[in-house]
Amino acid sequence: MAESLFVAMSFGAGALVGLSVLQAGLGAAPLDASQWLARRRQAQNPQTAPSAPLWAKAPGGAQARLRLADALDRAGWDESPERVAVVWVAAPLSLGMLGASTVTVLEWPAAAAVATLGAAAGFGSIAFALISSIRQRRNRLARELIPILELFSLELSAGGSPMAALSSVAMQVEGELAGDIRKLLIASQLAGSPSFELRLLACADELDLPSLASLATILAASREYGTGAVQGVRALAADMRREHRRALITHSRRALNHVLFPAAVGVLMPFLAILMFPAVTTLMRSFR
């Protein structure tokens, strides 16, 4: 009975692992503008879409799908929410079944604990990868914004208008954020479309970049009240540069701790044990 159960669990775990690898390995085709807009509309109204998945039509499924789609957009992943949800379900099930297959060599409580830990590790690994991708992309875009702001302040100091100066900087700088700014500038020039500041605020909210929202506020104040944007942009760039410097110092200190702690555990403690071995053996002999 145990052998047949082990074989069934092994086949089930192998099938789930194969499906998850196949689902994760199939490359997604690059999205154009129309496909991206269609995906966003479907994410916002999945119940009205003809190809809406069943889990999105369930109570609370539409909100869950919308939150997952927003998280994927912030992480920069080109995967659909359905594909990520399938992998997110298949990975815990696969690892859980692999852990449950240890019932042939372990007791039932121990096998159940291993299966639970495997399922939790599978679920947590996908969540950790998504959260890490969001954080890394946000930090990368924040680093890209610093030289853009510094060049923007130089262009404004030369006497150009804010939109012309920002357009010139966005055309000269290479990067993901500069490309997004170019797209926003082009889209804001269409008749009847929202202004560039509103689009920049929406982009800042989507990317979770408060500094980008501050830039939109500076540009809006310059447009509405006619105030100069040079000082505001320069101060914003200086603040971001100082924040980036503090983050680098904190990261370097953590890296030093990560190096010193293994060295202390792997080198200092064995060295102390070797030095104290004669004294410890002498004390043990004296107590006997």
In the 3-class helix/strand/coil scheme, how is 137-203 assigned residue by residue? Answer: HHHHHHHHHHHHHHHHHHHHHCCCCHHHHHHHHHHHCCCHHHHHHHHHHHHHCCCCCCCHHHHHHHH
**pLDDT (tens digit, 9 = 90+) per residue, 2-15?**
456 555 655 565 56
Structure tokens of 200? Answer: 């920049």
Q: What are phi and psi of 74, to 5 degrees?
A: -70, -35
In angstroms, the CA 114 to CA 100 distance is 7
Tens of pLDDT, residue by residue over 98-156, are 888 777 777 888 888 888 888 888 888 888 888 888 888 888 888 888 888 888 888 88
pLDDT in 10s for each residue of the chain, 288 residues: 445 655 565 556 556 555 555 555 444 444 444 555 555 555 555 444 444 555 555 556 677 777 888 888 888 887 778 788 888 888 888 888 888 877 777 788 888 888 888 888 888 888 888 888 888 888 888 888 888 888 888 888 887 788 888 888 888 888 888 888 888 888 888 767 788 888 888 888 888 888 888 888 888 888 887 777 888 888 888 888 888 888 888 877 777 777 777 766 777 777 777 777 777 778 777 776
Question: Are the C-beta atoms of 78 and 30 separated by less than 8 Å?
Answer: yes
**Residues counted in the chain:** 288
Task: Measure the CA–CA gap between 220 and 200, rounded to whole angstroms.
Answer: 10
Tokens of 73: 């957009």
Kindly tell me the sign of the dihedral angle through the C-alpha atoms of 180, 204, 155, 196.
positive
Q: What is the pLDDT of residue 288?
A: 66
CA–CA separation, 12 vs 100, rounded Å? Answer: 11
Which sequence spans correspond to the domains of the chain? 2-135, 140-242
Q: How far apart are CA 11 and CA 218, in angstroms?
A: 61
Cα separation, 284 vs 288, whole angstroms: 7
Tokens at 88, concatenated = 């997110």
**Token pair for 146:** 């610093």
